[in-house]
Structure 1
């Protein structure tokens, strides 16, 4: 089997990013990128990439500048056997040498890699988690991933909403607490009061440069039993994360903005956080995050994948979670946008216990709703060499 082409679809939401009011969910990203990798046997792998679609398109389709040093990723992929995923990954990394192997380049590599694993599963007639080497779990506890509301009463209303939808865990992030981190404590206090003790609550996005303020706020949040505090500091402040982690009892989480094992190795060694949050579509795809699971286990760290876009990325994250021995949560985005749940024929759903089933069909186990893709597509490109 050989890879013959890469197809890219840039999708545009009719909504702007953000929340219409305190009763609503985020409208989600304005744009989305779908990647299809085609083979000479008619098997097509799909992926979603949580990065800037127009930048991803350029990285994949760029003409050759220097062979194997600076060229579009297509040159490292087309013509290769998808079962040689390690070889393809290494070749893509090398091909992006001069335009920056980490960051945006790894995002584009990640999307291609996910689609390749989808091909591998479909060719074998097995779910991706089985092809990764272990399907240890059939369902994963989901948490509603949403933005902070502006008032304590709106936070209580949000808790009631997610509980009624079947969630047993929720994460509030960004918004007003990024504008003023000190607002986080009364908002979380209101959420805990409404939730009682039978729901997990997580906090995201204070993102302050002030380490001592972060320590103070996390200590105050501990009284409300938060399961973890995500990105209370800027992601590059590794020394700050170490100081914070050593000063508090709450679990500290970080990692959605990193790419590749080198950056995660540095995060583990220097920041000493508790929970690593790779986004499969940014961190290097399933090839790299599969290795990260082993690295994290050996370091005594936990992994909770970040997943904020469509059900295609959520499905890939579920397979990574199923591969883990001790997964904790599946981030389940509550975005009110057609680019989230509408892109697949059978959207992922919570069960009565607040869990999401790991797709059991071949490959990722989700199929694109081509009518929805066509409806929102603003730019489609077939990439060949």
Structure 2
């Protein structure tokens, strides 16, 4: 089949956090083909990404063949090279991610297979999940046995806050639960070492994004100082080329590519191959979303998918109709063709 149309739209979000997400959050990508199959994808980069997809990418993609996963890989390489003058990382790769995922969705529908089975006929049927957010008791009620807690260092009082929330998570979720902290680049080396000591009695599974993604050498040194707590990161890195630098510096124990940002499934598969050679675990950022879920199910990623849950009473945009729901901390991978979801037209 041939690609006949490539379009992206920035949804009418109602519940984004006032920040860079206001204008640069996720975009919906639609690929249409001459066989009538439509592929839906999800990428980062917001309004800037829409311009790249509807302009440059659309101009050079219409008319290309889409009949195999090899075709998708070739398209990925083509778009990467063509976008080098303004790309290589950042928004261009986030745009490429959305296109890549929409291509997989269209091919899965044409082949009448879920994306996970396109990638691997013998894939995981159920994936274990962890909840990200502050509402520990709610997560425990729903059956989660792992939680990642957002934490920001704003001064010495932040130590007490971290101790209190992690102790509460340990108490609510049990002695065998994984308790993680996502500090969103708000720590430095001294704070990380200090917090590692302060939280040793809790038993933290990983610290995430303690420094910026430009501090790979220091992360590699710091990783050894906090052992056996794992150093996790990589959501702000792009393509296998970027993860090669993570590998070279031994920056993380756990790699966390975001499939909607790092270059899609095509880049994700290349990153996993590298991680296998490094004997490093891969736990995709936001892996409980449909795209990450199929990727985890079909690959050597850890059986551990992130669901950003918010709180019991928080409102969220229901953008993707058909997204599987977690049950007792697990998600069933859909057998529907493609990713098995479609966008809520009311938000487009």
**Length-normalised TM-score, structure 2:** 0.89
Q: From 177, 185, 200, give the equivalent of 1:222.
A: 200
- Kept in 2: contact 1:242–1:273 (CA 8 A): yes
Q: State the distance in 2 between where 1:271 and 1:212 align.
A: 19
Q: Kindly tell me the number of residue pairs found equivalent between the two proteins.
A: 335
Match of 2:64 in 1: 80
Deviations 1:8-49 (A, max 9, x none): 22112223517xxxxxxxxx8675411111111110110112
Q: From 318, 323, 347, give the equivalent of 2:323.
A: 347
**Cα 1:275–1:77 shift into 2, 3 Å:** same
Matches within 5 A, 1:113-132: 113-132=100-119
- Kept in 1: contact 2:45–2:94 (CA 8 A): no
Matches within 5 A, 1:10-49: 10-17=10-17, 31-49=25-43
- Kept in 2: contact 1:286–1:320 (CA 8 A): yes
Task: Note the C-alpha offset of 1:201.
Answer: 1.3
Q: State the distance in 1 between where 2:324 and 2:315 align.
A: 15
Match of 1:65 in 2: none
What do you get for the CA RMSD once the two structures are aligned?
2.1
Residue 240, structure 1, aligned to residue 218, structure 2: yes
Task: Note the C-alpha offset of 1:326.
Answer: 5.5
Q: From 165, 171, 182, give the equivalent of 1:193.
A: 171
Structure 1: segments with no counterpart, 5+ residues: 19-27, 63-71, 149-157, 378-385
Match of 1:22 in 2: none
Match of 1:56 in 2: 49
Deviations 1:196-240 (A, max 9, x none): 314321110252352122122123323212221111112211112
Structure 2: segments with no counterpart, 5+ residues: none
Query: Secondary structure, in 3 states, of the residue corresponding to 1:331?
Result: strand
Task: Note the C-alpha offset of 1:337.
Answer: 4.1
Q: State the distance in 2 between where 1:178 and 1:2 align.
A: 51
- Kept in 1: contact 2:238–2:263 (CA 8 A): yes
Deviates more, 1:74-83 or 1:121-130: 74-83
**Cα 1:221–1:169 shift into 2, 3 Å:** same
Query: Secondary structure, in 3 states, of the residue corresponding to 2:321?
Result: coil
- Kept in 1: contact 2:153–2:187 (CA 8 A): no
- Kept in 1: contact 2:96–2:264 (CA 8 A): yes
**Cα 1:237–1:326 shift into 2, 3 Å:** closer
**Cα 1:206–1:285 shift into 2, 3 Å:** closer
Query: Secondary structure, in 3 states, of the residue corresponding to 2:11?
Result: strand
Match of 1:6 in 2: 6
Deviations 1:262-305 (A, max 9, x none): 10011121143110001001111111101211111110101111
Q: State the distance in 2 between where 1:173 and 1:29 align.
A: 20
Task: Note the C-alpha offset of 1:316.
Answer: 1.0
Q: State the distance in 1 between where 2:87 and 2:254 align.
A: 27
Matches within 5 A, 1:123-272: 123-146=110-133, 148=134, 158-174=135-151, 177-180=152-155, 182=159, 183-208=161-186, 210-248=188-226, 249-272=228-251
Residue 322, structure 1, aligned to residue 301, structure 2: no
**Cα 1:75–1:101 shift into 2, 3 Å:** farther
Task: Note the C-alpha offset of 1:247.
Answer: 0.9
- Kept in 2: contact 1:214–1:233 (CA 8 A): no
- The structure with higher relative contact order (CA 8 Å, sep 6+) is 1
**Cα 1:16–1:118 shift into 2, 3 Å:** closer
Q: State the distance in 1 between where 2:51 and 2:120 align.
A: 33
Query: Secondary structure, in 3 states, of the residue corresponding to 1:73?
Result: helix
**Cα 1:29–1:302 shift into 2, 3 Å:** farther
**Cα 1:136–1:220 shift into 2, 3 Å:** farther
Deviations 1:93-150 (A, max 9, x none): 112121122211111001000010111111111111121135431111111111x5xx
Deviations 1:81-101 (A, max 9, x none): 123112211110112121122
Q: State the distance in 1 between where 2:170 and 2:39 align.
A: 42
**Length-normalised TM-score, structure 1:** 0.81
**Cα 1:35–1:301 shift into 2, 3 Å:** same
Query: Secondary structure, in 3 states, of the residue corresponding to 1:85?
Result: helix
